[in-house]
A and B are shown apart, each in its own frame.
Chain A
């Protein structure tokens, strides 16, 4: 075992003391301090923690930290290395059931603890999944493939393209449905990317994650996984979707269109919401409640179109009052080819930015306008400033979400350098990223405290 493993995470005085006393991580040891003695197993230490303490797990199961300068003596009386493993059982094969492929990208849908960092790390084989969510075997024959082991914030164009390619291959092989396990932070970015890169899919492509890691009893992971696999097997909607909790209660999941969905709360289970429209369907263990019928239906062919291109020289500029033009100049000077502005209100920036917009136009940078209100359309005719900006080459993007716009622009610029073609691609919806109309119930943010809202909230399980 390497020294790094022997003293996992320890540094400074603590490391020196461990070496001096001949104790190591996973030692069952007795530590004598100036006032008492402590017995337990030496645990790995978080790498971000200080080098002044040794952590032991006592027989009661509790962990405590001892200041190393108080430890007068330490003796190893045993050694107990923990092998943290999800019980792996072969995922049962049933010839009567359909084949589903689950791609792992990382994230917390199935995970275990890492003692060194104290972090949650993913675990993903079919056996491990079967060990923790045996219900999956009632639904399908599951195959899994771990494509990447990255946290959601590290997902980028390379991953989008590899994922899209692998999905395309599986669809051409005739898979019944695809599930993609993904961290939740940027799930809507990846969902948008897959919506553009994998078009005309004959089967559901379901993205799923969890807001509470699966190492806790209240986790939403198992139910989300069950819902997403159920969707991949039985749902009639052949689109890229995000499948996550509808309410915070363990009641049902929602299927959101990949281009219209957004993470809206840093920690709630019901964090994903369809913005400016309504979701596609509700799902529970029993089945689906379709909320609309204008979706792409499941087909028996394998005619999927995969287009894996992406130009990452693009960025989102989140406008704020008093923004200086150099913010945009920096992007232009650094060779950015496309900028999505998240403007205020109907899509505005201040006049001091105009010279920068002119520079961008002159440099051939594609500049598009979205709204930071998230709900509603860009409308640049209402005020004169809007018209002036359009003269400066800013193209309004209807009600496309800033993140979807960012992904779509990268994809469009990956396909062509011709700005007119890019404009055509951007303004022609592929799968609902812009919609011709916003239904009256596409914008519902209830305000708590209002008597009738509180009454409603009191009668449903949120």
Chain B
């Protein structure tokens, strides 16, 4: 069954993915556009690397609701990390630092979460219960994330089918890691506590390309509310991937939807190739039962090695150990992902679990690159009774870390004989994934005793339903039917101005293209000038459209009117009266005088400069084309005269 070999990314077909049983689901994280953080009154969305103080903490595993220590929890505790939080006094208060109990959940955030739940066709819960989800990596100073389910069992249309939505949760965002070196991990806390939703799909995507498309679809659906944050890190996704015989693996924090195809391809490939490796071991007679290893301290042998990483460690009085994997000859270079081999799996574990963070942190006898001398290899092999069938892994560092590392190397190798270990993996820049931590189970969830449940009243649901945008996919269909200019279809469909656009076309009788120019192209231009579309006042825009319709404002005056409305609003009563062609002469005369006074190198520019000045005076009061014609006629006359 594992005969199939992965082809290069570009050559994989949907049939190939069906062969390996590719399944993937998404957990899309989206920050919400609120004034405050979720459980305290700190301002939301203010990011800075500047910090004013540092706080040091450690995380200890605790008991779950069902009375057991979670496996991951103990694993993390093994790593004994000193966690340092950098605190900025403007963005972080004593709540985020776990020195003050939570305040009530931000109402605005819960509203948006419920609204997006309804867009995703989820069944809303009647009472929101806040839970604590344990994170012992220190990414949240309390050691847990406050999180709550808003709705379950939903779905969105995709191609000719429906992608199921398992649930939508509302939660506080975590810290951003600055560095993780040895036993010290440093976090920036500016993002901590930001309101976030997590929308979880079923494992319904069948190819890496579908993962990206569904990711985009959900992102855009959420954007239609106009109440979600944008920009780097505001939308992130975890991607779950499995293949037949594999395990659901979570790839954490994919920053760009566009990276999903390659990442999911590589993860599927990794699982598949690890299963093929298991077959190879079986062929060699190595199973979970027959798996054997040996290990020894090899500090003495390597005391005078010339291999720099170990030599440096020896100078600092550190130790080295060797692990023999019986019968594993050449298997540490077994390909797992693109440009990645099995030894990386071991190196990753040693890095994370044993805190040996300086790379390389292991070497092995399957490697072609030059490390130890032949004599040193020979001496270690003799010490451990190696045959040519075996493979050696060498690790070095502080005594305790090396002890942990030796255990971890054996654990990881043994796991191959069983299957794919449950873990979360990080998305790497080259499209491969790296070990992050063991996947925690539902045992890490327990109720938050600091906050009471929140009742979701029918009144609240009604209020939110009334403000809900029409569905993104319905808008797309409609705009295509209306022949909206193709460059504007998607943008308009996710724009907060979409309802106004619909109104302009259906109620006010605007030409579709004119409406698209005024409500898509102009706002886009303004956004490039630094005026986000979200800050435009819809009522002002509506009044501007009405003024155009009532002929109080020309179409080419709209952009100017919108720009002006950002700071001063818009009232049609404040508009100067419309002008006729015959009114222009005095404006042209005046403008020409002003232009003449300036020192010009090239007299040919005078008509154009005059036109600019006249336009500044009369914009919106008479079509620009008329002005241009009049100015042209004026100068033509002048030349003739």
Contact = CB atoms under 8 A, between A and B. Distances in A.
Contacts of B52: 454, 457-458
B167 A60 contact: yes
A215 B56 contact: no
Given A82-B67, A84-B66, A218-B142, A65 B55 contact: no
A59 interface: yes
Contacts of A428: none
Interface residues of A, number: 61
B446 to A, nearest CB: 7
A53 to B, nearest CB: 5
A267 B95 CA distance: 10
A84 B128 contact: no
Contacts of B6: none
B62 A219 contact: yes
Contact of A84 (B65, B123, B442): B65
Contacts of A219: 60, 62, 143
Q: Indicate the size class of the contact surface on chain B.
A: 35 or more
A462 B446 CA distance: 30
Interface string A69-99: 0100000000000111111000000000000
A110 to B, nearest CB: 11
Nearest to B132: A216
Given A65-B129, A217-B143, A461 B56 contact: yes
A109 B58 CA distance: 17
Interface in B49-76: 51-63, 65-69, 73
Given A38-B152, A61-B443, A62-B129, A248 B99 contact: yes
Interface string A249-280: 11100000000000001111100000000000
A122 B265 CA distance: 50
A454 B87 CA distance: 12
A118 interface: yes
Given A61-B442, A62-B129, A267 B153 contact: no
Contacts of B441: 61
Contacts of A323: none
A212 interface: yes
A215 B62 contact: yes
Interface stretch (B202-210, B214-222, B447-455, B564-572): B447-455
B67 A83 contact: yes
A212 B132 CA distance: 14
B149 A62 contact: yes
A267 B126 contact: no
A366 B519 CA distance: 81
Contacts of B135: 217
A337 to B, nearest CB: 38
Given A219-B60, A248-B99, A64 B55 contact: no
Interface string A208-222: 000110111111001
A72 to B, nearest CB: 14
Interface string A428-462: 00000000000000000000100000100110011
B623 interface: no
A441 to B, nearest CB: 21
B57 A249 contact: yes
A251 B147 CA distance: 29
B149 A267 contact: no
Interface in B372-394: none
Contacts of A59: 442
B116 to A, nearest CB: 17
Contact of A46 (B51, B141, B452): B452
The main secondary structure of chain A at its interface with chain B is loop
B245 interface: no
A7 B142 CA distance: 32
A249 B56 contact: yes
A399 to B, nearest CB: 28
A11 interface: no
Interface in A6-53: 33, 35-36, 38, 43, 46, 48-50, 53
Given A60-B167, A457-B52, A458-B53, A65 B65 contact: no
Contacts of A82: 65-67
B55 A461 contact: yes
B337 to A, nearest CB: 29
B136 interface: yes
Contact of B449 (A67, A120, A218): A120
Nearest to A34: B123
A58 interface: yes
B98 interface: yes
Contacts of A392: none
A67 B126 contact: yes
A80 B391 CA distance: 47
Contact of A461 (B54, B65, B133, B134): B54
Nearest to A71: B126
A217 B144 CA distance: 7
A59 B147 CA distance: 15
Q: Which of B132, B152, B452 has the most CB of A within 10 A?
A: B152
Contacts of B445: 60-62
A216 B57 contact: no
A249 B441 CA distance: 29
B314 interface: no
A298 interface: no
B45 interface: no
Interface string B130-173: 01111110000111100111001100000000000011010000
A36 B124 CA distance: 10
Given A49-B452, A119-B449, A63 B129 contact: yes
Contacts of B455: 50, 53, 65
A180 interface: no
A113 interface: yes
Contact of A66 (B126, B131, B132, B147): B126
B629 interface: no
Contacts of B555: none
Nearest to B99: A268
A211 B101 CA distance: 10
Contacts of B65: 57, 82, 84, 113
Given A49-B453, A215-B63, A218-B141, A64 B152 contact: yes
B131 A62 contact: yes
B506 interface: no
A61 B62 contact: no
Interface string B229-246: 000000000000000000
A217 B59 contact: yes
B444 interface: yes
A65 B62 contact: no
B107 interface: no
24 contacts: A35-B123, A46-B452, A59-B442, A60-B149, A60-B167, A60-B445, A62-B167, A64-B129, A65-B129, A86-B63, A86-B67, A113-B447, A113-B449, A118-B447, A118-B449, A215-B446, A217-B60, A217-B61, A249-B54, A250-B57, A267-B101, A268-B94, A458-B53, A461-B54
Given A218-B141, A249-B57, A251-B56, 11 more contacts: A36-B152, A61-B131, A64-B126, A64-B129, A65-B127, A87-B63, A216-B62, A222-B60, A250-B58, A268-B94, A448-B89
> Which 4 pairs show the lowest CB-CB distances between chains A and B?
A65-B127, A217-B143, A61-B445, A61-B442
Interface of B: 51-63, 65-69, 73, 89, 94, 97-101, 123, 125-129, 131-136, 141-144, 147-149, 152-153, 166-167, 169, 441-447, 449, 452-453, 455
